[in-house]
Structure 1
Amino acid sequence: MKITAATITGGQMELPAPALLECTSAYDIPADGFYAVFPAQPLQGCCEFTALTVELEGKLVFDGLIDEQILSKNSKGMFLTLKARSKSAVLIDNEAIPQTFTRANLWDIYNAHCKQYGFRGLLCDRNPTLSAFTVAKGRSEWQALESFCRQTLGIMPYISDGYIVAKQRPAGQHIVLSNTLAGCIRFSSLQICNKRYGVISKVILKSESKLYDTAVFNPIGKQLDIRRKRYISPPKEWAGSPHAGADRLMRDSMLKKLLITVTLPSLTAVSVGDHVSIEDDAASYTDLTVYEVTYKADGTGVSTTLALVLPDYVC
């Protein structure tokens, strides 16, 4: 693993091996997280750090901005702690101006809410239009973009190589995990969790008559024998398609119903959206999607933890 930091004076420095590291990326969280503690002796005299990148097996797995830089000393020595988030954090940290667009397209939303923050551009196959789109008070720049994309394209945007991408994520690599078959990636632990408590079976919408009188059902709620309803007044962003908003709420509740957590005893380059098969005496799955990746390193060793979900509810 190679960790390189940028200094406030414009320089670059490769950092020593960290004493502690945790780096996480997730499907539905736009900003990846980074936390590491480094021995401070080799870094004494350095100026303030502003950004850093992490490469694993020649692959860029983190590219972000420093949130905190802490120098500390205790009985074990002097340490430098760095906390960072990927560059999309700037869209989370900034509030969007409340407004209502008339006949706004995707490029209008990008220009109004993203372009000013220095992204390289917008990558999209289509430029859909909504006759009216409202950004409510308190929404972040990212929430404005995400809401528009989910309404018009049915996907969640993401950031790659400095571009905002409003497309379906590419298929990614396919890896096979097994402790019994030759040539497969080994794992040290496996957990299969079936989360019934989060699934919503019915959403009752508040209509223009001000009554909660429009029901939208989860198509497999009855099959699962789950009864969990929500009364929703459609947010302004979904005013033009309240049923689609209700469907999205129920799909999101299904995303992590089946959550499989696998830990690999190594730092293995895996990306959100990659496909995973598990072939083992404990479980057998042929097509899971990587929902979250967490790299860890400390005095006891290194690991890569994958949170895996069924692909049905990954937009």
Structure 2
Amino acid sequence: MTGRVFTCDHRVYDLPEPLSWEVVHTGTVPCDSYSVTFLYDRSMAEVLRLAAGFAAIYRGETMLRAIVDEYAVELGSIGLTATITGRGYAARLLDNESRPLTYQDATLAEIVRRHVTPYGIAAGEVADVRASSVYTVPAGVSQWKALEGFCRTYGGFSPRFSRDGKLLAAPEKGGGKRFSIGEGDPVLSCTLREDHYGVLTEALVIDKTRNASYSVKNEDMIQRGGQCRRVVYTPGQRTWDAMRYTGEYQIRRSKEDEKTVTLSLPGSFLAFPGDQATLRLDRMGLSGSFRVTEAANVFSAEKGASVTLTLKGG
């Protein structure tokens, strides 16, 4: 992998061959992230001080566009090394707070124009979504929350970022790669976790302004003996549909972590969030179709390359 730095004065600099690196793809929040360590000499001081952007290039393809959060220079047993770390472009929206705003009949395109575009982020996809009620951005929330809240409430999806840093404010179309992992594949490790803690049985949405409430229930978990209710307070002037969407979204999100498979394989950049994996590991009694939600790629000269996939579903 080649680490490429973009400075605030618009220079491009390819870092020396890395001693070790890690690139984590989530596509959303928590952000994509990276860390790269390489041999350092004094000629790099100005470049690192002005470093603002980063790209991970692997076999000629961009695997990540991100911001530079930090660099460190260290004198150790192998001499002088430097490490650069940072996050994906979602960080630009997380790090900036929105003003309190109220929208009437807002479109997603308008939300992107007001809350995303000013931070240097290009949109790769923007769904044709319009608010069915007044949409309020409360004081003290980030630009990410302003965008994500609109997408969740009126579109039923969460925004994402592509590997080249473009915003994907649209539902996934199932266009990710499909692959299979079975007993004959070189699985380094595999963990199955099924966690009922936090899976909601009821989401009660309350609008105190109108003195109205709407209850959405998770009948499957109720039948399995679960008892976990959340009360969500919404701003005034919500429609019944908006309240129902909010409750359904809360239950759907709580169910996402119910079954998780963590799987490690040798290699780099074998899969990305949104890809679909079919597992058949008979020794673990594990089979089914899973969605990749995170891919952590690591390399070191001592251990080589491996990728750890976090899979949900099944």
What band does the TM-score fall into relative to the shorter chain? 0.7 to 0.9
Contact 1:67 1:85 in 2 (8 A): yes
| Equivalences for residues 1-315 of structure 1 within 5 A | 1-29=1-29, 31-41=31-41, 44=44, 47-48=47-48, 49-121=51-123, 123-160=125-162, 161-170=164-173, 171-180=175-184, 185-208=185-208, 214-234=214-234, 236=235, 239-240=238-239, 241-282=242-283, 283-298=285-300, 299-310=302-313
CA separation of 1:27 and 1:200: change in aligned 2, threshold 3 A: farther
Identity of aligned residues (%): 23
* Greater mean deviation of Cα atoms: 11-20 or 87-96: 11-20
How far apart, CA to CA, are the structure 1 residues paired with 2:263 and 2:12?
A: 35
Which secondary structure does the structure 2 equivalent of 1:131 belong to?
Answer: coil
Shift of the alpha carbon at 1:292? 0.6
Aligned letter for 1:178? G
* Greater mean deviation of Cα atoms: 288-297 or 200-209: 200-209
TM-score w.r.t. length of structure 1: 0.87
Contact 1:204 1:212 in 2 (8 A): no
**Structure 1 vs Structure 2 CA RMSD:** 2.5
CA separation of 1:189 and 1:43: change in aligned 2, threshold 3 A: farther
Shift of the alpha carbon at 1:70? 1.4
Aligned letter for 1:246? G
Contact 2:69 2:87 in 1 (8 A): yes
How far apart, CA to CA, are the structure 1 residues paired with 2:176 and 2:226?
A: 34
Residues 7-58 of structure 1, C-alpha deviation per residue, up to 9 Å, x if partnerless?
3443322223323322212254163111222221496455232211113344
* Greater mean deviation of Cα atoms: 252-261 or 107-116: 107-116
How far apart, CA to CA, are the structure 1 residues paired with 2:147 and 2:55?
A: 25
CA separation of 1:151 and 1:207: change in aligned 2, threshold 3 A: closer
How far apart, CA to CA, are the structure 1 residues paired with 2:238 and 2:82?
A: 48
How far apart, CA to CA, are the structure 2 residues paired with 1:207 and 1:165?
A: 30
TM-score w.r.t. length of structure 2: 0.88
Contact 2:93 2:144 in 1 (8 A): yes
Structure 2: unaligned runs, 5 residues or longer? none
Which secondary structure does the structure 2 equivalent of 1:47 belong to?
Answer: helix
CA separation of 1:158 and 1:177: change in aligned 2, threshold 3 A: same
Shift of the alpha carbon at 1:115? 1.6
Residues 92-116 of structure 1, C-alpha deviation per residue, up to 9 Å, x if partnerless?
1100111111121112211211121
CA separation of 1:207 and 1:94: change in aligned 2, threshold 3 A: closer
Contact 2:193 2:261 in 1 (8 A): yes
Shift of the alpha carbon at 1:205? 3.4
Contact 2:208 2:236 in 1 (8 A): no
Which secondary structure does the structure 2 equivalent of 1:245 belong to?
Answer: helix
Aligned letter for 1:165? L
How far apart, CA to CA, are the structure 1 residues paired with 2:288 and 2:12?
A: 43
Shift of the alpha carbon at 1:130? 3.4
Shift of the alpha carbon at 1:209? 7.8
Structure 1: unaligned runs, 5 residues or longer? none
Contact 2:191 2:263 in 1 (8 A): yes
Which secondary structure does the structure 1 equivalent of 2:133 belong to?
Answer: strand
CA separation of 1:252 and 1:206: change in aligned 2, threshold 3 A: same
CA separation of 1:42 and 1:268: change in aligned 2, threshold 3 A: farther
Aligned letter for 1:233? Y
How far apart, CA to CA, are the structure 1 residues paired with 2:43 and 2:195?
A: 45
Which secondary structure does the structure 1 equivalent of 2:56 belong to?
Answer: strand
